[in-house]
Amino acid sequence: MRVKIYLLFVAICVSALLVSCNRAGGPPARKLLIYTPHGQDLLRDFVARYKGLHADVDVQFLDMGAREILERVRAERNRPQADLWWGAAHTTFQTAADENLLAPYRPTWANSVPNPSRDAQDRWFGTYQTPEVIVYNSDAVKPEDVPRDWDDVIDPKWRDKVLIRNPNPSDSMRAIFGGMIWRFYKDTGSPEKGYDWLRRLDANVHEYTADGTLLMQKLVRREGLVSLWNLPDVWIYKEQKGFPIGYVFPASGTPVITDGIAIVRGGPNEEEAKRFYEFVTTPESLVLAAKKYYRIPVRTDLDRTQLPAWMNERVNEMPLDWDLLRKQSNDWLRYWDTEIRGRSKK
């Protein structure tokens, strides 16, 4: 019996050694880990298309808020796990670039992106433009009552009827809150009047939701009737999911984020990251993202007739000092969180 057990043990060891040697002698597995806030539907679609061309690549992604990605990349600075960061506001990418978290890479289409939508040292490039809008439940809000501008949302008639996505992890909400403060800051050099505006908004807020999905679901359930959010998400819930959602561009102008892409400095699979980077930014991929996921492309060399008609309409963009917003937003949001949030109804 002992001899049989011994022989079995030897056979297992030999088999394991052969498998190990075979793996060592074969080509290394191609892998790619992407950090992204772009949502499950878009991500699964593009990953499946990429694997259709590169079946041997193991592509994984983590879907989280843009600011959460920044914190994670910071924490992994000395041992990066992600290869590619796909999706965040240009302000967030510029912060990461300044902290030496991104690797320079000049894509083949670099000359087709305007200077404001790219990093001067090629550490990030813009892919999409994301306007912010006023959103409402189109079944519950009469056309004549729809807020037409930012100040309409702080009217007392909307008290306890406004839903806001928690701004701390969200680039969209940071842009909106920053824009509201900037409207006054540019004339006064102080955030105080902007804080007063946020206090009046807080008085109307029914809930600050954890994410954009909950925001849309609660809006449809009429837990709130009005919100502020980004246009691509609104189109997805309106057109693909059939939610009774309407939107308007604020009459006085709106922040328009440049959404970008970047390679994580020191990531373990940089060459694969470059391939995926190029794949999701081809004209074909950008047109698909525009038609199916309502992403407005930044590239200037595309055939605009292939895009949805509304993407070719002029957006009244709010002029902002994005660099100032980037540097001040943490302090502004810290004040909002400690001195304004949930205090205006007391």
Q: Domain with 42 in it: what CATH number?
A: 3.40.190.10
The answer on 136 and 76 residing in a single domain is no
- Judged by DSSP in three states, 279 sits in helix
Residue 344's pLDDT is: 81
Is residue 6 one of the residues assigned to a domain?
A: no
What is the 3-state secondary structure of 289-330? HHHHHCCEECCCCCCHHHCCHHHHCCCCECCCCHHHHHHHHH
The answer on 64 and 36 residing in a single domain is yes
The answer on 246 and 109 residing in a single domain is no
Tokens describing residue 325: 């917003």
The answer on 333 and 224 residing in a single domain is yes
What CA dihedral angle connects 270, 51, 277 and 127, to 10 degrees? -150
Q: Give the chain's count of helices (H) and strands (E).
A: 12, 11
Is residue 238 one of the residues assigned to a domain?
A: yes
pTM to 2 decimals? 0.88
Q: Domain containing 327: what range?
A: 130-256+318-340
Residue 346's pLDDT is: 58
Residue 19's pLDDT is: 39
Is residue 14 one of the residues assigned to a domain?
A: no
The answer on 167 and 146 residing in a single domain is yes
The answer on 265 and 150 residing in a single domain is no
Is residue 24 one of the residues assigned to a domain?
A: no
pLDDT in tens, the chain (346 residues): 444 444 444 444 434 443 344 444 445 579 999 999 998 899 999 999 999 999 999 999 999 989 999 999 999 999 999 999 999 999 999 999 999 999 999 999 999 999 999 999 999 999 999 999 999 999 999 999 999 999 999 999 999 999 999 999 999 999 999 999 999 999 999 999 999 999 999 999 999 999 999 999 999 999 999 999 999 999 999 999 999 999 999 999 999 999 999 999 999 999 999 999 999 999 999 999 999 999 999 999 999 999 999 999 999 999 999 999 999 999 999 999 999 999 987 5
The answer on 211 and 84 residing in a single domain is no
DSSP 118: B
The answer on 114 and 96 residing in a single domain is yes
Q: Which residues contact 226 (CB under 8 A, 6 or more apart)?
A: 134, 135, 136, 137, 141, 147, 153, 158, 161, 162, 163
Residue 5's pLDDT is: 45
The answer on 213 and 135 residing in a single domain is yes
The answer on 153 and 53 residing in a single domain is no
Alpha helices, DSSP H, located in 205-321: 212-220, 231-235, 270-279, 283-293
The answer on 202 and 102 residing in a single domain is no
Residue 16's pLDDT is: 43
The answer on 147 and 261 residing in a single domain is no
- Contact criterion met (CB below 8 Å) for 307 and 297: yes
Is residue 44 one of the residues assigned to a domain?
A: yes
How many structural domains are present in the chain? 2
Beta strands in the chain (DSSP E): 30-36, 57-63, 84-89, 102-103, 125-137, 162-165, 205-209, 226-230, 245-248, 256-264, 296-297
Is residue 123 one of the residues assigned to a domain?
A: yes
Is residue 3 one of the residues assigned to a domain?
A: no
Is residue 160 one of the residues assigned to a domain?
A: yes
Rg (Cα) of the chain, in Å, rounded? 24
